[in-house]
Amino acid sequence: MSDELLIGLRSNTARAGVDAVLVNFYSGSMDILHASFTPYPPAIRQTLEQLTKPDRHPDGGVTTLLDDNLGRFYARAAQNLVREAGLEMRDVTAIGVHGPSARQDPDGDTVHLGNPVLLARGTKTTVVAGFKAGVRGAALAPLLHRHLFYCSTESRAVVALGATARLTLLPISGEVSAFVCGPGTCLMDGWTRRHLHKESDIKGNWASKGVVDAGLLQKLLNDDYFSLGVCARTGPGHFTMDWLDKHLQGSGLPPGTVQTTLAELTAASIANGINTDTMPKRLLVCGPGVNNDYLRRRIAAALPDTTVEPTTRHGADPDWMDGLLFAWLARQRLAQKPQDTRTVGGAAQPELPGEIFEPPG
């Protein structure tokens, strides 16, 4: 049935659980055989939320305990995925995993939680973890975007709409570049939780009923974040509800107007992130925000000369791109295929992201 089966595990951007994807690699192609989302148990989610607060000083003992608990949790998620697909773990070559991040120390780098040793032991399967792109620790998704979506006859861009909006620019000629251009769904989700008591405005129905407040939009776009060089921009830690409240202070705007304006902020920051001198012919959308119909329409309106469409039309399920990424990276690592992270991660030369962990015995 297959040449090679691999699993990709990725903590979703809301840190609510893990995306698990079973991928079949064959004849230079890849297909998703089965995918699932498993929510974190309340204890893991609460501990994770506490550890990842911006003002939280990490507790080494708590971090280690969470790392181990996530390793065991990921092992169960992988086993359930394979069982649901009607297969067995022995059919799987390897697992690529990228867990949620937490700081090692107040001034140190972040680490990705989910003990790979316990994951390998629990599944009796080779695990590839510890992925990092270049000296900046950049996102790895652009490597897969380049592999799947580069076209020699038209310039393209890819936007991954998670908590932040991450752009990958794929010109016909010249270097691939990738960066965070602004908020994705983090502000809209936070505002929805506060006022509608739901996790998100999934389809954008609430946002579609309001109007954009031009004054608020301009105030948000004037934030210092957008004047930073793309390499200095950070993730969702910048776009918090405290950040939004500071900008809203004294505005008295209806909640629906704010939601609509937040959608416009995401669309405007994506359009502003694309260099008009190399305007892509096509913008491919993936990530959780792809299901927000209103947001997709606003992105298309901000880029009238660009076709905006989900990655589905190019053979990749937009809801499971993160899991697909880490299955693909694990396979590349096991095959000793270097990745050119010079333009997306600042590496001096192509490198081999990921560390291999073999199961005991």
Per-residue pLDDT reduced to its tens digit, 338-353: 887 776 656 667 788 8
Per-residue pLDDT reduced to its tens digit, 107-132: 556 678 999 999 999 999 999 999 87
> What is the signed CA dihedral for 360, 12, 328, 314, rounded to 10 degrees?
160
Coil/strand/helix, residue 178: strand
Given a cut of 50, the residues of the chain with pLDDT beneath it are 1, 106, 135-137
List the end-to-end C-alpha distance of the chain, in Å, as a whole number: 28
pTM of the model: 0.88
DSSP type of residue 316? -
Coil/strand/helix, residue 54: coil
Q: Is the dihedral of CA 337, 341, 345, 347 positive or negative?
A: positive
Q: What is the pLDDT of residue 136?
A: 46
* CATH class (in words) of the domain with range 141-318: alpha beta
- Matching CATH topology for 4-130 and 141-318? yes
Q: How many CB atoms lie within 10 A of CB 351?
A: 16
* 166 contact partners, CB below 8 Å, separation of at least 6: 139, 141, 159, 160, 178, 179, 180, 181, 184
**What's CA 336's distance to the chain center, in Å?**
24
Domain locations in the chain as residue ranges: 4-130, 141-318
**What's CA 188's distance to the chain center, in Å?**
16
What are the residues facing 128 on neighbouring strands? Answer: 96, 356
Fold of 4-130: Nucleotidyltransferase; domain 5 (3.30.420)
**Percent over 70 (pLDDT), the chain:** 89
